[in-house]
Amino acid sequence: MKRKKSVHHMIRKGSFFFLFLYGFCIIPNGYSDKPVRFDRRVFLLEGDVADVILEDLNHDSAPDMLVVQNRSRFPDPHTDRILSIFFQKEGRLPDQADQTILLDNDEIVFDIGDLDGDGFPDLAFLKRDGVYIRENNGTGFSEKLTLFKSIQSAFILHDPSRVNRYRFIRDMDGDDVPEMFIPEANRLSIFSKGPFSGYHEKVQLWMTPELTLSNDPDPLTFSVQFPVLHIQDFNGDGIKDLLIQSGDRLDVYIQHPGEKTDLRAGLIPPDLRYRMAARNVNPPVLDQMADPSVTIELEDLNKDGYVDILLTRPSRTNFTTHISQIQVYVNRYGRFDLIPDQILPLENFGGEHVIGDFNHDGLLDLGMLDFRIGFSQAIQFLLTKKASNGYLFYLMGSDGRYPDTPDKKISFSRKVNINDILGSQICQSFQGDFNGDGLNDFLIGTDTDELSICIGLENDLFSEKAVYQMETMVSSDLWVGDVNQDHFSDILLWYPDDPALSNQVVLIQCRAVDSQ
pLDDT of residue 113: 96
pLDDT of residue 322: 57
- Whether 311 and 327 have beta carbons less than 8 Å apart is answered as yes
Q: How far is CA 446 from CA 386, 497, 509, in A?
A: 10, 19, 19
- Using DSSP's 3-state secondary structure scheme, residue 179 falls into strand
pLDDT band at 47 (very low <50, low <70, confident <90, very high): confident
* Cα–Cα distance measured from residue 401 to residue 404, given in angstroms and rounded to the nearest whole number: 9
All residues at 6 or more sequence positions from 264 whose CB lies less than 8 Å from its CB, including other chains: none
* Cα–Cα distance measured from residue 452 to residue 469, given in angstroms and rounded to the nearest whole number: 4
Answer whether residue 365 shows pLDDT above 90: yes
Higher-pLDDT residue of 499, 318: 499
Higher-pLDDT residue of 72, 2: 72
Selection from 80-84, 126-130, 366-370, 402-406 with the highest mean pLDDT:
402-406
* Cα–Cα distance measured from residue 323 to residue 379, given in angstroms and rounded to the nearest whole number: 21
Least confident of 4-13, 226-235, 238-247, 442-451: 4-13
All residues at 6 or more sequence positions from 442 whose CB lies less than 8 Å from its CB, including other chains: 354, 367, 391, 410, 429, 430, 431, 453, 454, 456, 462
Selection from 235-244, 257-266, 347-356, 422-431 with the highest mean pLDDT:
235-244
Answer whether residue 151 shows pLDDT above 70: yes
Element (H, E) at 429: none
Q: What angle do CA 460, 492, 145 make, to 5 degrees?
A: 140
Answer whether residue 198 shows pLDDT above 80: yes
Higher-pLDDT residue of 30, 41: 41
In SS3 terms, 455-504 reads as: CECCCCCECCCCCEEEECCCCCEEEEECCCCCCCCEEEEECCCCCCCCCE
- Using DSSP's 3-state secondary structure scheme, residue 265 falls into helix
The average confidence (pLDDT) of the chain is 80
Average pLDDT over residues 282-293: 44
Element (H, E) at 213: strand 210-213
- Whether 353 and 367 have beta carbons less than 8 Å apart is answered as yes
